[in-house]
């Protein structure tokens, strides 16, 4: 991964590791008895993993930056709301004040804790289904192109 990729709002290395683990689980679940096509997908998955994960991270950095600055952090069709969830789990702490602190490049235990917490929050909010599904679709497209 490009070591320059940073986010003030989540721990990029922890996020990268969690995504890679999720995608590796997906690869392991692909049924090789389905034929050569699936075996080929499994065999070349590592060749595409880093670039694919980097793309997810890049998109997440952009969308997270926009998301944490929205006045309304609720999401249609999703029960998670980062502001509400953070304040519920961190009694007496203001999400907005923390984001202002992060934006002012101020560090601290609360900032470090938020960066780790937000990775877990991401997976609570969005789960892993779409990550696995999109990865399988991507690998099917790659395998189809190579055949």
User: In the predicted model, is pLDDT for residue 4 greater than 80?
Assistant: no
16, part of any domain: yes
44, part of any domain: yes
Query: 1: how many CB neighbours lie within 10 A of its CB?
Result: 14
User: How many whole angstroms separate alpha carbon 125 and alpha carbon 80?
Assistant: 5
User: How confident is the model over 44-61, as pLDDT tens digits?
Assistant: 999 999 999 999 999 999
CA quadruple 54, 65, 7, 56: dihedral, nearest 10: -10
Domain ranges, residue 97: 12-146
Reference 111, options 6, 10, 4; nearest CA is 10
Give residue 35's pLDDT band: very low, low, confident or very high (50, 70, 90): confident
5, part of any domain: no
Check if the beta carbon of residue 8 is closer than 8 Å to that of residue 103: yes
User: In the predicted model, is pLDDT for residue 3 greater than 50?
Assistant: no
49, part of any domain: yes
Whole-structure pTM value: 0.89
Give residue 147's pLDDT band: very low, low, confident or very high (50, 70, 90): low
Give residue 146's pLDDT band: very low, low, confident or very high (50, 70, 90): low
7, part of any domain: no
Burial class (CB in 10 A: 0-12, 13-18, 19+), 114: buried
Give the list of residues 6+ apart from residue 87 with CB closer than 8 angstroms, or none. Answer: 93, 94, 95
37, part of any domain: yes
3, part of any domain: no
2, part of any domain: no
* Number of domains the chain contains: 1
């Amino acid at each position: 991964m490009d070591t320059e990729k940073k986010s003030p709002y989540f721990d990029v290395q922890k996020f990268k590791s969690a995504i890679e683990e999720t995608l590796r689980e997906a690869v392991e679940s692909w049924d090789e008895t389905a034929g050569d096509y699936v075996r080929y997908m499994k065999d070349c998955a590592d060749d595409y993993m880093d670039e694919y994960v980097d793309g997810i991270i890049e998109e997440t950095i952009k969308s997270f930056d926009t998301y944490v600055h929205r006045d309304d952090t609720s999401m249609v069709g999703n029960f998670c709301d980062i502001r509400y969830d953070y304040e519920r789990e961190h009694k007496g702490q203001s999400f907005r004040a923390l984001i202002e602190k992060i934006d002012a490049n101020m560090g601290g235990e609360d900032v470090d804790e938020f960066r780790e917490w937000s990775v877990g929050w991401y997976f609570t909010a969005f789960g892993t289904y779409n990550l696995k599904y999109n990865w399988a679709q991507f690998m099917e497209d790659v395998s189809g192109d190579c055949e």
